[in-house]
Structure 1
Amino acid sequence: MKISKRHIISLLIISIIALGAISVASAYTGTGFTHNVPSSKYYDLSASDILNKYSDTDCKVEETGVCTEVVDGDTIYLDNGKKVRFVGVNTPERGVEGYIASKNFVRKLCLNKEVGLDIDNAKHNDKYGRTLAVVIVDGKSVNEMLLKEGLAEVMYIPPSEFYPYNWADSSTHIPNSLNTITHTNSDSSSSDSGSYIGNSNSGKFHESTCKWGQKTAEHNRVYFDS
């Protein structure tokens, strides 16, 4: 059988369609985190409306820059060329339910505005070269807001200066694999206030000299002797 040019073209088209279908089926979904916050929820709210709901963060601004692009709900570009990954949180990937709402939330707060960074001193960059940081707008932590708005899940990857469980509340999604994480120091000893520091916000507890216990805000601390 003689194969014509038309047959070759047809086979090429079929191959391209098939490869496209495979790519869609195997699209990267990250941890698989999704949420059902409607993308329209924040349309009628100004950035000030959102920021006024939250208290100032304890994080300190170490660098500043203007946000020139929002890649998704947890990654932005600054005018100095730096690509920033919001530390401690994870939002839905492109094509996954919730992606647009999380991205639009960050766009409203950050795009074309000066933002502050509190860079993770324990691990400055991730494996993709992105700067790991808490993003701060008008003294408020966008990382914390994403968690409390239900737009992100906790993603704690040690080593890290930050413990995102402290930013979470009862509605925050915490992956099952992270629910039982505790951090202790086997060489630690008791303190005068108690051997263990509990966090009334996250429900976690630590030995009194554990660095994560010491990072717990005073108003969230509960001390235990055993």
Structure 2
Amino acid sequence: MKIRSALATSLVLAVLLAGAGCLDRGPEEDVSPRAGGSKGRAEAPTTEVSGVVTKVVDGDTFDVEGLGRVRLADVDSPEMDTPAGKAAKFFAETMLLGETVHLDVDDLGGKDRYGRWICVAYVEDPETGTLINFNGMLAAFGYAEVKDFRDNEFDPGGWGLTPIVR
């Protein structure tokens, strides 16, 4: 996966959207993700299933081969009828489409009312082999808002990311 290239592309897109008034720039701070993501977990994530992303529906929803539709836990991307929604989908497509994701599936409910698996998704940094929390990355780059839904096992407060674009 071309994480650096995809991040550079998404930053350019974010700057263009910010210049067009679609996004407000926030402080440029450290966006180095920590691996943890579930309540009580501070170290490496536990992933239960991996698969290739076959379709990106929007910024926070995609299909995984052999699993079905996934809804990212505790983040909310803008709707597709907005420029910010299109930018979020573009970012997700750039990072995920055709790539293998490693998923930590919610142990409390599993699926939402629409039948989508609620997960924290991780992508692998090809240079280090480190798993990077994609939910947190989506929020850090301004393509989603963090929303701590209490009906799942996850705690976004442990993602360790600071938004750079709001």
TM-score (norm 2): 0.68
Q: How far is 1:164 from its partner?
A: 1.5
Paired residues of 2:33 and 2:136 also in contact (CA < 8 A): no
Residue 183 (structure 1) aligns with: none
5 Å-filtered alignment, 1:1-226, equals: 40-41=13-14, 54-58=32-36, 59-138=45-124, 139-167=131-159, 168-169=161-162
CA offsets 1:124-177 (integer angstroms, 9 cap, x no match)? 11100100000110000110101111111112222211112333536686xxxx
Q: How far is 1:39 from its partner?
A: 7.4
Percent identity over paired residues? 31
CA offsets 1:28-74 (integer angstroms, 9 cap, x no match)? xxxxxxxxx887249xxxxxxxxxx6345122221001000000000
Query: In structure 1, how many angstroms separate the alpha carbons of the residues matched to 2:63 and 2:108?
Result: 22
Q: Show structure 2 runs of 5+ residues with no match.
A: 1-9, 16-30, 37-44, 125-130
Aligned-pair RMSD on alpha carbons? Answer: 2.5
The alpha-carbon distance between structure 1 residues 82 and 39, as it changes in their structure 2 partners (threshold 3 A), is: farther
Aligned length: 128
SS in 2 for 1:98: helix
Higher relative contact order (CA 8 A, sep 6+): 2
Query: In structure 2, how many angstroms separate the alpha carbons of the residues matched to 1:115 and 1:81?
Result: 11
Query: In structure 2, how many angstroms separate the alpha carbons of the residues matched to 1:151 and 1:170?
Result: 10
Paired residues of 1:153 and 1:172 also in contact (CA < 8 A): no
Counterpart of 1:164 in structure 2: which amino acid? P
